[in-house]
Structure 1
């Protein structure tokens, strides 16, 4: 259930380029999130294009961005649940998005030529994502979209480690909610 918001300057893409980007980026974000591009995953993978006017709404160095690099500037905000992917998966996603945008726009994608294209992965904490009136996390998402089974080893160990940290540091538990807490010494 990944979400990708692409903020871009007005006129950066043709409708055909948007369609191509949506297709290729959907595959990329699904593979990064659950390790598989499945029909069930595609039915829940969102790619949103947010177009802004570079003369009135996009500033670089405190001034309107009237001289963007060839192809424009882009912000790729990727939203995943915590535990969806490792740092290696995120790095591969950064590389894949860069390659896709460079190929689509026929520009040099190497650093620093496309340093103005930012890919930011936002991880939603466990318990903060909801769908169909239910709180869901990476376990449920991986199951519903037919994610790669080997992904569960990573997210299960991560979720268990987070639980141990909460317990070791005395974070309130759901069981203790509403009960009087011991006073600090």
Structure 2
């Protein structure tokens, strides 16, 4: 049930690249969570793109200058180990840099920030009820078994 919020200055990513970016971010998050890339898990992995006008970004309280990219990733607490967080941050950075056509070694590539927010157990609800991380792990295991079993 992860969610990704991507906030960018309008025009920072060419429109033809936005759909691929959203799909790539979902794929990347599923992979690092260890969740199977199935229709069920894609259905519960949401990616929002928030484009803001350049005058809505301030850096140090002043007009922002070069575009900035903020990627907020929300996952249940315990879904990502430190190793998985490190890999996720690196892959999200590479995905956004490629979509925005930035030189990965430029100062502008430093304007891609990724934040991982972990929701404590009992603080995530679906359909009016809390969802336990253990339930998600069970669903993931069942999906892995379903797609990995010989037919």
TM-score (structure 1 length as normaliser): 0.71
Return the offset for 1:42.
0.4
Q: CA RMSD in A?
A: 1.9
Q: What pairs up with 1:88-99 in 2 under 5 angstroms? A: 88-99=83-94
Q: Is the contact made by 1:7 and 1:50 (CA closer than 8 Å) also made in structure 2?
A: yes
Which SS does the other structure have where 1:114 is aligned?
helix
Give yes or no for contact 1:142–1:148 (8 Å, CA) kept in 2.
no
On the 8 A contact 2:3/2:75 being kept in 1, the answer is yes
TM-aligned CA distance change 1:13 to 1:106, over 3 Å:
closer
Flag the structure with higher helix content. Answer: 2
The unaligned stretches of length 5 or more in structure 2 are 146-151
Unaligned runs of 5+ in 1: 150-185
CA displacement at 1:107 relative to structure 2 = 1.5
Q: 1:44 to 1:123 in 2, by over 3 A?
A: same
Q: Whose radius of gyration is greater, 1 or 2? A: 1
Q: Return the alpha-carbon distance in structure 2 between the equivalents of residues 107 and 39 of structure 1.
A: 32
Tell me, what secondary structure is at the counterpart of 2:109?
coil
Aligned residues: 144
2-side partners of 1:113 and 1:63: how far apart? 17
For the Cα contact (< 8 Å) 1:17–1:104, is it kept in 2?
yes
**Aligned mates of 1:134, 1:96 — CA distance in 2:** 33
Structure-2 separation of matches of 1:111 and 1:12? 15
- Tell me if structure 2 keeps the 8 A contact 1:2–1:46: yes
Structure 2 length normalisation: TM-score?
0.86
Matches of 1:111 and 1:143, distance apart in 2: 42
What does 1:1-185 correspond to in 2, within 5 Å? 1-55=1-55, 57-65=56-64, 67-68=65-66, 72-110=67-105, 112-146=107-141
Q: Runs (4+) of structure 1 moved beyond 4 Å?
A: 145-149
The SS at the match of 1:115 is helix
Deviation at 1:143, TM superposition (A): 2.8
